[in-house]
Amino acid sequence: MDWQTLIAAGIVIVTLTIFLVRLVRPQQRGGCGHDCGCGKK
């Protein structure tokens, strides 16, 4: 495996881990979860 493949695979694994952690992490307080203008962030 060349160095480019290794680094690219590492980036993909880190990204996937972040998504999974965010998915299983308990939600914080209500609101839309985005800066949609609803007053909650």
Partner 1 sequence: MHAASESPSTIALIGNPNTGKTTLFNALTGANAKIGNYSGVTVDIKSGETYTPHGKKLRVLDLPGCYSLRAPSPDEQVAVDALTGDLPGYAKPDLVVCVLDASNLERHLQLALQVIALQIPTILALNMVDMAEKSGLRLDPAKLAAELGVPVVPMQASAGKGIIELKQALRFPFPSAAHAMWVPGTDDAEDTRRTFIRNLCELAARRPDAHQLTFADQLDDWLLHPVWGWVAFFAIMFAVFWGIFSFARIPMGWIESAQGVVAGGVESLMPAGDLRSLLVDGVLGGVGGVVVFLPQIVLLFFFIGLLESSGYMARAAYLMDGVMSRAGLSGKAFLPLFSSYACAIPGVMASRTIGSAKERLATIFIAPWMSCSARLPVYFLIVPLLLHENEGSWKQALVLFAIYTLGTLSAFVVARVLRRKLGPDHTAHHFMLELPPYRWPQWRYIFRHVLERGGSFVAKAGTIILGISILLWALSTYPKADGDGADALAASAMGRIGAVIEPVVRPLGFDGRVGTAILTSFAAREVFNSSLAVLFRVDEAAGEEATRNSLRDRLALAKWPDGTPLFTPLSIISLLVFYIYALQCLPTSVVVAKEAGSWKWALGQLAFMSGFAYAASLGVFQIGKLLGF
Residues that bind partner 1 (CB under 8 A): 2-5, 7-9, 11-12, 15-16, 18-19, 30, 32-40
Least distance CB 8 / partner 1 (angstroms): 4
Cβ proximity to partner 1, 28 vs 30, nearer residue: 30
Q: Take residue 13 and report the two structure tokens written for it.
A: 């694994």
Q: How many CA atoms are closer than 13 Å to the CA of 33, on its beta-carbon side?
A: 5
Least distance CB 35 / partner 1 (angstroms): 4
